A and B are shown apart, each in its own frame.
Chain A
Amino acid sequence: MSRIKTLLGPIGIAAAALFIVVVLGALFAPLIAPYDPTIGSVTERYLGFSTAHLLGTDQAGRDIFSRLLFGARSALLGPVIVVTITAVFGTGLALISVWWGGLVDSFISRLLDLLFAFPNLLLAMLAIAVFGPSLTTAALALSIAYIPYTARVIRSMALRERNLPYIRSPQLQGISGVVITVRHLVPNIAPLIVTGATINFGFAMIELAALSFLGLGVQAPDADWGLMVADGQQSLLRGYPAESMFAGLLIVITVASLGYVGERLGGRAATGRKF
């Protein structure tokens, strides 16, 4: 624990705390939120800050604070789906590629090159056009787009490790590749996988919010930060910035704090690029 604290540094600890607050907010939204996020009353539109409505109401009279809390759920769930699928398949493909080598490696690398060619958001939009807009569709589509990035980096490190004696030695005993990969290779590339996951999380969050913003992700009347930023545009023009502003702020804070924590914990493994 103390080692994690020294790794994070004072800013890192604050960042981690912020992120944890957001996660708790999402988890306990039904208990904390004072109002149903989807129900609003036209008579209560654009109310300012008050004890009844901490952050006011939006153009449909819905409590912004409650919507932010519930919005945190989709804001976090989406990236979790993306990161999990990307980590599992990206790492899996990389490890298969590295262990088998030769033609298998070439084939998988070419496949990944193909995926690389698609810009992430376009791929997502394509999927949504086919399957209809929803959080899960967007998340799945994004996962497929992210897999080659993760696979490339993991493959690179796994390739280096694979030729080292501590992998060669069990191989000489005739121990199966799967066992060696899981027992020896994975623990040594795990830090890289974790760091990649935190970085991907941030990117996924922003891109999913962008999709929702465009109306291609979470659909009204569900609450979602990206959606709120979009919905709040009209209100912004009328002088009621609360909805867009707070939603946008939360996106930035969450992504930034997780990214910072990820970098500190990953140390040298972290890069600024999409992972």
Chain B
Amino acid sequence: MSTPAIVVDGLTKTFSGHGRHKVTALDNISVTVERGSCLAVVGESGSGKTTLARIIVGLETADSGTVTLNGKPVAGRASRSELHRRAREIQMVFQDPQSSLNRRLRVSTAVDEVLRAHTRLDARARRDRCVELFEQVGLEPRQLDSLPGELSGGQRQRVAIARALAADPSVIVLDESVAALDVTVQGQILKLLAELRAAKNLSYVFITHDLSVVQLVADQIVVMHRGAIVERGATAEVLGNPRHAYTQLLLACAPRPGWKPQRGLIRAFREKIAS
């Protein structure tokens, strides 16, 4: 049994929003992501899934609890050198292709910047590596010199994925990375992600609210609601046989062939959850 890619233990985080009452974003969360697997973190807004992702990657600090990456614990407070070190193991692909890339710079700079930060390659070697990465994500080398505005949403996300791969990490956190894309493009990107995972033995943490994406991509799933994990397990098991009322509610609300929204049913679930 190899070392898990990520072990999260007892993570807690509260936000005190501008004098209003405190918000518990994460309440004693513990999760394990096995090497080479894909964990989907499913929840709606306010579930804490984004906060979890940000803490794992280093954009936020937890109030208490630990995060272990490839067997090594990561420091609580993410200083610049800590982030630099962590970035070689874990990278992030964000949700919005529009704001993911600097609109004023050629897309190659996004990838080049990461190469410069983590490798000692010279300019020529970096350029070659950029070409390689672009080909791996299904882009053409000539697109290296495009501005983000000249590319489609799907292409921009491919650049974001290339950027994430540049540091040669073992884990990638995908924060709703296909949510902003057209449905037909989503499928292509998910397929690319699956291929990359297999080829490089990557581990994924996939944050999403979309259950059909989960089906296509994840081995394991945790369902989050108001800062807590309400259900976890193998994807097929959890989706096929949901036990917690909130998971059942999510499934009852997922548009699919033959589905109709039923107010009464939804209300019944909500009452069940509240009790």
Give every chain A residue within 8 A of B99 (Cβ-Cβ): 164-166
Stretch from B42-50, B110-118, B209-217, B235-243 forming part of the interface with A: B110-118
Could you say which of A169, A172, A176, A187 contacts B105, with CB atoms under 8 Å apart? A187
A165 to B94, CA, bound (A): 7
A163 to chain B, nearest CB (A): 9
A173 to B82, CA, bound (A): 9
Give every chain B residue within 8 A of A183 (Cβ-Cβ): 113
Give every chain B residue within 8 A of A171 (Cβ-Cβ): 59, 83
Q: Which residue of A lies closest to B104 (CB)?
A: A187
Interface residues of B toward A: which range? 20 to 34
Stretch from B2-10, B85-93, B186-194, B195-203 forming part of the interface with A: B85-93
Give every chain B residue within 8 A of A274 (Cβ-Cβ): none
For residue A188, CB closer than 8 A to chain B, the reply is: yes
- Do A166 and B101 touch across chains, with their CB atoms under 8 A apart? yes
Question: What would be 20 A-B contacts, judged by CB atoms less than 8 Å apart?
Answer: A164-B99, A165-B96, A165-B99, A165-B100, A166-B100, A166-B103, A168-B94, A171-B83, A172-B57, A172-B59, A172-B87, A172-B91, A173-B113, A174-B81, A174-B87, A174-B117, A175-B117, A176-B80, A187-B104, A188-B102
Chain B stretch 148-199: residues in CB contact (< 8 A) with chain A: 163, 167
A170 to B102, CA, bound (A): 11
What are the 9 A-B residue pairs with the smallest beta carbon separation, nearest first? A174-B84, A165-B94, A164-B99, A174-B83, A173-B117, A165-B100, A187-B104, A166-B102, A173-B87
**What's the tally of chain A residues with a CB closer than 8 Å to chain B?**
16
Task: Please indicate which of the listed interface residues B58, B95, B104 has the most CB atoms of chain A within 10 Å of its own CB.
Answer: B104
B116 to chain A, nearest CB (A): 9
A210 to B192, CA, bound (A): 66
For residue A53, CB closer than 8 A to chain B, the reply is: no
Give every chain B residue within 8 A of A168 (Cβ-Cβ): 59, 94
Give every chain A residue within 8 A of B96 (Cβ-Cβ): 165
- Do A184 and B94 touch across chains, with their CB atoms under 8 A apart? no
- Do A169 and B167 touch across chains, with their CB atoms under 8 A apart? no
A171 to B102, CA, bound (A): 13
Chain A stretch 173-232: residues in CB contact (< 8 A) with chain B: 173-176, 183-184, 187-188
A176 to B104, CA, bound (A): 20
- Do B80 and A174 touch across chains, with their CB atoms under 8 A apart? yes
A170 to B104, CA, bound (A): 15
Could you say which of B81, B83, B102 contacts A172, with CB atoms under 8 Å apart? B83
- Do A184 and B102 touch across chains, with their CB atoms under 8 A apart? yes
Give every chain A residue within 8 A of B117 (Cβ-Cβ): 170, 173-175
Give every chain B residue within 8 A of A166 (Cβ-Cβ): 99-103, 110
Q: A164-B99, A165-B100, A176-B80 are in contact. List 17 more A-B contacts (CB 8 A).
A: A165-B95, A165-B96, A168-B94, A169-B94, A169-B110, A172-B57, A172-B87, A172-B92, A173-B83, A173-B113, A173-B167, A174-B82, A174-B84, A174-B117, A175-B117, A183-B113, A188-B102
Q: Which residue of A lies closest to B114 (CB)?
A: A173
- Do A188 and B84 touch across chains, with their CB atoms under 8 A apart? no
Q: Which residue of A lies closest to B113 (CB)?
A: A170
Could you say which of B58, B85, B92, B103 contacts A188, with CB atoms under 8 Å apart? B103
Give every chain A residue within 8 A of B100 (Cβ-Cβ): 165-166, 169
B113 to chain A, nearest CB (A): 6
